[in-house]
Structures are given as structure tokens and as C-alpha cells.
Structure 1
Amino acid sequence: MSTYSQTHLEHLTAYMVAHLSGIVLDNKIDAWQENAQLMVSGENLGNGGFLMAQWQYNAVVSVEGFPHKAMDPRYLLASVACWISEFDPDRSEKGLVDPSVSVDVLDDGNVDVTIELELCEDIQMIPDSLGLIRYQGTQYRVQAVPIWTAQEAEITHEADR
């Protein structure tokens, strides 16, 4: 079962730091949310779980003092694009716009880069007698609802009978 350990924004930020070989240090990158919206659903996902809401927000990632002459800035942008492709592939289905980038020149070798993008996260719950949330008479915890996938199937044809 998958539990939530990080928001998309936390995961994106950690991904960028990890993939930019020490050029982007974790103390030079900051990230925050703006203009969040909670879209309530309550959709029954089976297995006793619910999609309670989608949490959509504008994410801002600020990289201070990016050494654009020491590292091609396309690496920074590619890290964001790779993360989106791998971990947020259904953006277009959710109507999320592509990221925007702004650059503020500090000196001949360093720039501050601000990347803004929309993110949308499901808030799912599963039954748990020790869970913190009571919904429709049952206790729940916030966790991704497990998806059961068939391991094998049998196909029959009426004419074969």
C-alpha cells in the first residue's frame, strides 16, 4: 500500500536537488504554494476507500544564485520537465498549464530562477480503526487507495461450450 510521505511540491524540490549534482544546494532552493483550491469529491474508489478531494495549487520553486555559466540552465529546466513526465503525466487531463520560468540576473555568473507550475494532488482515504478522520460513521486515515490488478484471466467463447 502506498502512503503519502511528501507532497508533489516537496518531491519535485528533492528531485531537482538530487539530480543537479550539487549545483543546486538544498539551502539555495525554496518552494511554496499559492492560491490553493480544495475540490471536494467524495468518490467511492472501491476497497472501502474514497477520493475525498483534489488539492490544486500554484507551486513556486525559487533557485537562488544558479551558476548559469558553470551549468547549462537547460539542465535545471530538464529536471523539472523530467519530473513532470515521470511523476505527473496526467496534467493535461486535469487542465494544468505548463510551467513558467522567470530569471533575475544577479551578476555575470549567477541568476535567481523562479519556476511556477500548477500541481494537483488527490486526497484519498482508506478505512482504519485508528484513523484520525471519521466519515460516514467509519474511521479513516489519509492514504492512497490500493488498486487491485488482475494477475490472470480466463477468456471463454460461447461456441466452445
Structure 2
Amino acid sequence: MSHVSQLDSLTAFLRGCVPKRAMQSFSSEMTSLKTIPAGKSMGMEQERLSIIRYDAELIWERFPFRECDPRLMMALLEVWLASDSADRELFSHVGLSSADPDWDIELIDEETAIVTVTVPMAEELIIVPDDAGDIPYQGKQYRLADAEIWTALSALIYAPGADVPGATQ
């Protein structure tokens, strides 16, 4: 299974929405990386070892602000942050109450600017058993994985003494 980080997801989203001319001098990277102990059994043999806290740094070294309205970048970032791809629930686990992006814009000339956006991110570090895995943990081999969460879409609930369809007495 190939892991797609939030940074990878955000970068792909921007590359798909922003005009190519504006993405020519674009880079994205993780900075201020920390792991926060948060071990937890996630069910289905999944183990969360920690939460990874980092800043996603998005940099446009020659952003053509006359050709591409900078507000487009802001709107796209807000849309991505509000999407399911941006799992912001972990922020309370790492002591962050706000995850607002920081924007820094430095004009180069009348056509271009250096634009740097720093976005706080938090992701779970999940492992699952795998005999061919690279991670020895509690006497077994594991591999990195994305958390797999199953959600019940419906349920039958029976109360004691209630008639159960198909049951015989």
C-alpha cells in the first residue's frame, strides 16, 4: 500500500487546479517535523505508534501574480483544508487549537513574487502486521500503512425479550 501524505494530497490538488504557468517554480516540503507519542490499537491489527506533526511549506519562487490572482491560491487552500483529505481532527491530540496557514509574499518585480505558505499538518503513523515488513514490533514484523476505518452503515439492535425475526423458541 502506498501512503499519500497530506502534503502529497495538497500538492497534487494544487497542481491540478492552478494554471501551469504559476506552478513552474513551485516546490513543497515538510519542515519542523516532530513525532508525538500517541500509541493506540486502531483495531483490525492496526497500531498507531505516534502522531507526526509538521509544517507543509509550499513555495512559489516566481509566482506570476499579474497572470494568476493570488486569491485563487488562498481559495484553493481553504477548499482543500475543508475537504476530507485534510484530516484536521488530530490537531487536538497535538495541542493545536488553530491550524491557520501563514502567507509570506515578497515582490521580486512588477510581474512576479516569491510566495511561501506554511500550513500546519498532523498525521497518524500507522503500522500493520506483514511477515515481509521492515519494522520489528512486539515480536512480529510490520509495515507502514494508512489507517483503515470501517463504518457501519446500518445495524440491527435487539433488546432482551423482544421478538427476534427468524428465532425459534
The within-5 A match list for 1:60-71 is 60-71=57-68
Question: Aligned partners of 2:75 and 2:87: how far apart in 1?
Answer: 15
Q: How many residues align?
A: 158
4+ residue runs over 3 A deviation:
91-94, 157-161
Q: Percent identity?
A: 24
Give the structure with higher Rg (CA). Answer: 2
Cα distance in 2 for partners of 1:120, 1:15 equals 18
How many angstroms apart in 1 are the aligned matches of 2:78 and 2:2?
22
For the residues of structure 1 that align with 2:162 and 2:156, how far apart are their CA atoms? 13
TM value normalised by structure 2: 0.83
By how many angstroms is 1:21 displaced?
2.5
Structure 2 residue corresponding to 1:100, chosen from 99, 102, 106: 102
Q: Over aligned residue pairs, what C-alpha RMSD do you find? A: 2.0
Task: Show the counterpart of 2:130.
Answer: 128
Question: Alpha-carbon deviations, 1:49-80, whole Å to 9, x = none?
Answer: 10111110122111122111212111111121
Secondary structure of the 1:23 match is: helix
Contact 1:17 1:24 in 2 (8 A): no
Pair 1:11–1:62, CA change in 2 (3 A): same
Which range moves more in the overlay, 80-89 or 127-136? 80-89
Counterpart residue number, 1:118: 120
Moved more, 91-100 or 101-110: 91-100
Q: Within the alignment, does 1:51 sit opposite 2:48 as a pair?
A: yes
CA contact (8 A) 1:126 1:144 kept: no
Which residue matches 2:166? Answer: none
Rounded Cα–Cα distance in structure 2 between residues aligned with 1:97 and 1:148: 27
The one-letter code sitting in structure 2 at the alignment partner of 1:109 is E
Cα distance in 1 for residues equivalent to 2:46 and 2:37? 15
